[in-house]
Structure 1
């Protein structure tokens, strides 16, 4: 690991984690390569974003008359995050009266609280000019420690450091009760050897007129400031409302000799916001055993089936929350990935490694619907071969969604039928249409003038951030050769293919276009441009794939395919990862309106 240029500063950790050399260091081997520090950092950022979104949403629910009591400090268990548990759920610590003075400040800036031990040793003042009492963060005192570097950034964004008293953030004032910032009386010659209370005080802006003689506190990036209750400042915070003058009142239930470091102990419980958005409940429990939301197989209503591991990886990356595994039904040979996307609980499965086609897909879906009886519909998400034409400008990286056309239900099985005289093939049989509520959801997407491709692009970026191999291969590698020009056999990709190409107008952006229409499904891999174009003209097909025909009549389904090739002799794997990401991104966008 390469250290930061300056160690033991507020920004040092970020500079270590963001170092390009450090990001590429392997942690442990996986099936394909290694898990890198970059991957772990990406996971932590993802968790952090979800926690922040949760806190912001809870703050939005709490109106002026439904604000959360200050004594209930909500946060997360450090051990949950450090051990990568699938379900991260909030805790609540019950604060004593002297510990409520900085709660409004942390909520105003949406600060994330991590419950754990020994955090006081993380922030320490530098230098030797302090007395022994204040060279380390005092423990068991319900204090909030902050680096000067962070405080200056907070004031720049939402406060005013030039005010007197200082406005730390919106509606929160910083009051320094001690005339000498950072100097303890025990070190002043001629003074009685006693310690000063150097704790800084936070107050609402209504105290502005009372604090006109407040001494501004000089801030250095490497300084440390402690906020909390100052024994010499006779004001204290209640559960709600403004501070009151006087000494904090200690009830019999909160004896002052029963402090717990960072709230760990009897005060730590799970927190669940109730339906009215303003009431909060806390119950004492051990953090590692109880309080998690538990799911049963009967709660999962959406199934997702992928043919390849790379397709399922893209889908799983976009889970908002991942769920723990459940016990499966007897003789179920599938392995499932469980999680949530929006309001939907998802069960996802992949075809057995090395198997493909309609029969393998039918077997997977049959097991899924037996183990998860509440599944209402299934999405087949992955890659397919595009059928470009003058009418349909289908390109690599685009997304094709099955949609009923004329007499066809959205998917046709092109290889199911009978051979007639003169070797003519007559297709037989039919498949179910997609469920109506999915069709109306698609109508909502197509008719929304405010909706652009931005959500899809954002979701694709999320996938690429954690899996760089899913990035766009580049427009120069999207080559549609004319029918009759065969692939050069000496290369895996088309770098040596130089035959005539179909001229197409260039697109201004490389984002995927969404096409709705007929998808052809069968057990044959189409690698012939003449066959592709013949079937394309006959049925107005947009895409070929190999699983849907085995699933459509088992459970109501919709097929979502990212285009990875043109179903000709130039078929290769260069676009498979990006096409998988595009299909997964559309899936998440669709589920947001279902």
Structure 2
């Protein structure tokens, strides 16, 4: 797939995403949604992991900390609907142990309005402040009563969303340049329009909605801005696993059979994906799945020190000394004492760099302490091997 012109202007990542550092799972329901999310990611690769039949697209996105990036795994559902979405949110953490949050990113049916200020137009963006499973009901004496409570996204997500809203109110929507530069197949069908972002309640159910009267009745009763088919599953699946969630949708139709078509699918999908990139750029990394980007302004020693300071066992003085006690006595005796943790780490590294096997003995001590396959060790080893200046 060709890269759209906006990508060339972005700050690209610096290397292939590490599966052990994935902190965010992006769930999509159909292929055009997957392609749109891939379009806004950096460093994209497709992987098949041992013991997991599901294919994943890995990539990175900027965070609110310039030197660190979110590591994202995109997974497309085998079938659309709330059940498959919930299953995927339960399945992915088995392959990505650092996963801390889920996002549902794709298209939805918007609720039109005669009021221009409240009209949810084709190509607009809807951010879910609540998701309502509107088909989770009980029937009493011929009437239906909603049983499922509204599910709300994580506070961290909405705090970042408020920052995006501030930019929009100042006339500089951060997601608009990516969307405006879109090439085929993501061009806007109506080139004269400009999308708006809405925030509010979204209805979710295993129902492909193509009924204007039903749409208007449920939307009026529950105060809905849009309808979709996966959000309730993502919300419940995330919460059962103790993870936060967020949902952003691009409006591809109005849930009306007389006007239903696929014409707006690509643009609406890219609108949601572009908005997601903007929100994550205002989110701090989801610890512990952090991906430190090596900056051109960061010298190799600082990069190594940062990677080691990120390790809890090296920040704590007692645990750090336990690690250093695993080094050969002749090398350990040459390391100067220092009560300041970061300086002690730097002096340890500069001492070890004078020895031909300095890197390997340090890695052996870390491997023994952290475990060879742990995400913390894998990330630290990668940074040390790239930046080591020793003999």
TM-score between both structures, scaled by the size of structure 1: 0.43
1:301 maps to 2:23: yes
8 Å CA contact 2:48, 2:55 repeated in 1: no
Distance 1:458 1:48, change over 3 A: closer
State the SS of the aligned residue for 1:585.
helix
- Measured against aligned partners, the alpha-carbon deviations of 1:470-490 in whole angstroms (never above 9, x if no partner) come to 111117xxxxxxxxxxxxxxx
* RMSD across aligned positions (CA): 2.5
8 Å CA contact 2:167, 2:174 repeated in 1: no
Q: Select 1:469's aligned residue among 161, 164, 185.
A: 185
Distance 2:224 2:46 in 1: 40
8 Å CA contact 1:333, 1:367 repeated in 2: no
State the SS of the aligned residue for 2:210.
coil
Distance 2:39 2:145 in 1: 42
Q: Specify every segment of 5 or more residues in structure 2 that has no aligned partner in the other structure, as ranges.
A: 63-68, 239-243, 284-391
8 Å CA contact 2:124, 2:268 repeated in 1: yes
Structure with more of its chain in helix, by fraction: 2
Distance 1:356 1:450, change over 3 A: closer
Distance 1:452 1:315, change over 3 A: farther
8 Å CA contact 2:87, 2:237 repeated in 1: no
Q: Specify every segment of 5 or more residues in structure 1 that has no aligned partner in the other structure, as ranges.
A: 1-34, 55-86, 90-292, 404-409, 476-508
Alignment of 1:404-443 (within 5 A): 410-421=130-141, 423-443=142-162
1:333 maps to 2:22: no
Give how far 1:573 is off. 0.8
State the SS of the aligned residue for 2:174.
helix
State the SS of the aligned residue for 2:33.
helix
Give how far 1:454 is off. 4.6
Match of 2:76 in 1: 350
8 Å CA contact 1:334, 1:364 repeated in 2: no
- Measured against aligned partners, the alpha-carbon deviations of 1:160-180 in whole angstroms (never above 9, x if no partner) come to xxxxxxxxxxxxxxxxxxxxx
Count of residue pairs brought into register by the alignment:
269
Match of 2:174 in 1: 455
Distance 2:164 2:177 in 1: 17
1:446 maps to 2:134: no
Q: Which has the larger radius of gyration?
A: 1
Give how far 1:453 is off. 4.7
Give how far 1:333 is off. 3.2
Match of 1:560 in 2: 248
1:579 maps to 2:282: no
Distance 1:397 1:324 in 2: 28
State the SS of the aligned residue for 2:87.
helix
Match of 1:321 in 2: 43
Match of 2:213 in 1: 530
Distance 1:582 1:48, change over 3 A: closer
- Measured against aligned partners, the alpha-carbon deviations of 1:111-170 in whole angstroms (never above 9, x if no partner) come to xxxxxxxxxxxxxxxxxxxxxxxxxxxxxxxxxxxxxxxxxxxxxxxxxxxxxxxxxxxx
Greater RCO, 1 or 2 (C-alpha within 8 Å, sep 6+):
2
Match of 2:198 in 1: 515
Match of 1:377 in 2: 101
Give how far 1:325 is off. 2.5
State the SS of the aligned residue for 1:337.
strand
Give how far 1:296 is off. 3.7
8 Å CA contact 2:17, 2:71 repeated in 1: no
Distance 1:592 1:294, change over 3 A: closer
